[in-house]
Amino acid sequence: MPESFTHSPEDAVDFDALVVGAGFAGMYMLYRLRRLGFSAQVIEAGSDVGGTWFWNRYPGARCDVESVQYSYQFDRELEQEWTWSEKYSPQPEILAYANHVADRYDLRRDIRFNCRVTAARYQADRRLWEVTLAGDERITARHVVMATGCLSLSNTPDFAGIDEFRGATYHTGRWPHDGVDFTGQRVGVIGTGSSAIQSIPVIARQARTLTVFQRTANYTIPARNAPLSPEYVARIKASYPELRARARSLPTGYAINYNTGSVHEVSREEYRAEYRQRWDAGGVNFLAAYGDLLFDAEANRTAADFVKDMIRETVHDPEIAELLCPTNIIGCKRLCVDTNYYATYNLPHVRLVDVSRVPIDRLTPDGLLHDGTAYEFDAIVFATGFDAMTGALFDIDIRGLDGISLREKWHGGPRTYLGLATAGFPNLFTVTGPGSPSVLTNMLPSIEQHVNWIADCLAWLRDRGHEVIDASPEAELAWGEHVNEVAAASLRSTCASWYVGANVPGKPRVFMPYIGGFPRYVAKCDEVASRDYEGFALA
């Protein structure tokens, strides 16, 4: 077994690396660390593996990246032995996959479940991190890897009267494990993002009445989900390397039918036919119809208008249809993918309430009050999203050199080098952190690329006898400028989305993910590594 980082008794650390989170990122990180001979432990707040897919068990939850691509590619055998049943697999199947991976590589023996990290403090004199767990237990590690996910800290708005409501409340991102039966109930759903759009049609099938409170209408494309035929699965399995390579060559890290041409080069009939064909095929592929849809407002309008026409075609009540028609850029907020979302509003027991001009006043013992109308509910579902990208990191009191806290350092918005590290916090890595493509890409390949980069970096440090790596402030500044520059060129940075922190009051408005595309980002990470970790200080 290769030598670990611990060379002498006075240097003794509990682990070479401590990983926070046992979702897809933390699990693969553990796998790589073990194979490199590092001692590692994963700390996980939940009672089992799966991260996002462990917590988000709301009705209708499924991934909207095709499952054959939303899966690990590090082990060809794993890829061949696992068979997805549907184009977009439901949450229980994705969670079963996470469990399969944990079993297959015997990961659980190095994961501590039901255990929350509360603080992490860098001790410069000992060149290690002291990590505090709930209950005040302390663990030391040479390196800490934050595999805490981009959408993991749920956001429930601070509604007045929230504790007075006598019915049941649920957050989509913290759904009860034994499920919820809404049969015969009067249900209110607050929010119309991806989670709401997936759950509303399913809740509507059970509930006696369903009232949806919409602040911002969202664009959603039909999933056209379907079982995968054995022939299709066999074809994918036979051509996985090509599929993965094509995915890696695209900005999204996801093999879609991506057309780089401009919509302005074709006639109205032609682009409408293209949109129709993509609408009928389903999924986020819709937005890849033309290369300028996310860069040119006029180009974007052609796609937005098409979707609005589909909404008007689907929803019988013209007033409700208009209310469901978004007014912003399509794709500016994350595009949603649904099954029967718009058609659900044709059901007589489903009602849509516009809270865009007048916000929800408060929750009451019997329901909620909005614009002078009292609504009575047995249950209220908060589909109100997450404190994205930085929330889970700030949830832990992380302190680097000189005791400076991450919250203080990032008070004006996250500052990272490649979304992997932040200056002044030596030996701390973030998997799919702010400043990396993360949420703008297929998360699985982005996770694997980050984990591989971090694992290779730790092995390189060990081989050269380095114990400390820290991003330089200059490299971080230059990367931040580049992240902002590419964001400014995209329409995506122009609306009040969670990408810019707009959904959380007081959060600085900064476009957090890197929008320069997966291949360009990977090339930069590889270049940094090949130049002996250029932009990092080593000791």
The residues binding ligand NAP (CB under 6 A) are 62-64, 151, 157, 172, 190-196, 198, 213, 215-216, 334, 337, 355, 360, 383-386, 439, 498, 503
Nearer to ligand NAP, 173 or 400 (CB): 173
Min separation Cβ 98 and ligand NAP, Å: 15
Closer Cβ to ligand NAP, 160 or 477, answer by number: 160
Please identify, using beta-carbon distances, which residue of 157 and 291 lies nearer to ligand NAP. Answer: 157
From residue 331, how far is each of 221, 469, 490, 505 by CA, in Å? Answer: 11, 37, 10, 22
Report residue 406 CA to chain centroid gap. 21
Task: Tell me the three state secondary structure of residue 470.
Answer: strand
Q: Between 367 and 426, name the residue whose CB sits nearer to ligand NAP.
A: 367
Minimal distance, residue 90 CB to ligand NAP, in Å = 10
Smallest gap from Cβ 213 to ligand NAP, in A, equals 6
As measured in angstroms, the least distance from the Cβ of 313 to ligand NAP is: 23
* 368 phi, psi to nearest 5 deg: -150, 165
Distance in Å, CB of 194 to ligand NAP, minimum? 3
User: Between residues 198 and 427, which has the closer beta carbon with respect to ligand NAP?
Assistant: 198
Whole-number minimum distance, CB 78 to ligand NAP, in Å? Answer: 22
Which class for 156: exposed (0-12), middle (13-18), buried (19 or more C-beta within 10 A)?
Answer: middle
Phi-psi sector, 370: left (phi>0), alpha (psi -120 to 50), beta: beta
Would you tell me how many other CB atoms lie within 10 Å of the CB of residue 371?
A: 12
Q: Name 214's bridge partners.
A: 354
247: exposed, middle or buried (C-beta count within 10 Å: 0-12, 13-18, 19+)?
buried
Nearer to ligand NAP, 430 or 442 (CB): 442
Least Cβ distance, residue 103 to ligand NAP (angstroms): 24
Q: Give the integer Cα–Cα distance in Å for 360 and 339.
A: 27
Task: Tell me phi and psi for residue 311, to 5 degrees.
Answer: -65, -45
CB atoms closer than 10 angstroms to residue 506: 5
Burial of 175 (0-12, 13-18, 19+ CB in 10 A): buried
- Nearest approach, Cβ of residue 524 and ligand NAP (Å): 24
Q: Which residue is nearest to ligand NAP (CB)?
A: 193
Task: Provide the token pair at 362.
Answer: 């408060």
- CB of 223 or CB of 469, closer to ligand NAP: 223
- Per-residue buried b or exposed e for 49-66, using 16+ beta carbons within 10 Å of the residue's own CB: bbbbbbbbbbbbbbbbbb
Residue 192 or 449: the one with the smaller Cβ distance to ligand NAP is 192
In the complex, minimum distance from the CB of residue 195 to ligand NAP, in angstroms, rounded to a whole number = 3
Q: Which of 377, 406, 360, 340 is nearest to 148 (CA)?
A: 406
Cβ 174 to ligand NAP shortest distance, Å: 11
Could you tell me if 199 and 383 are in contact, meaning their C-beta atoms sit under 8 angstroms apart? yes
Q: Which two tokens stand for residue 34?
A: 């073990």
Query: Of the two residues 213 and 479, which places its CB atom closer to ligand NAP in the complex?
Result: 213
Helices 91-104 & 24-35 angle (0-180, nearest 10): 10
Rounded Cα distance between 97 and 300, Å, is 37
Shortest separation between residue 97's beta carbon and ligand NAP, angstroms: 15
Tell me if 325 sits within 8 A of 217, measured CB to CB.
Answer: yes
Q: Pick between residue 241 and residue 359 the one whose CB is nearest to ligand NAP.
A: 359
Q: Please say which residue, 63 or 303, places its beta carbon nearer to ligand NAP.
A: 63
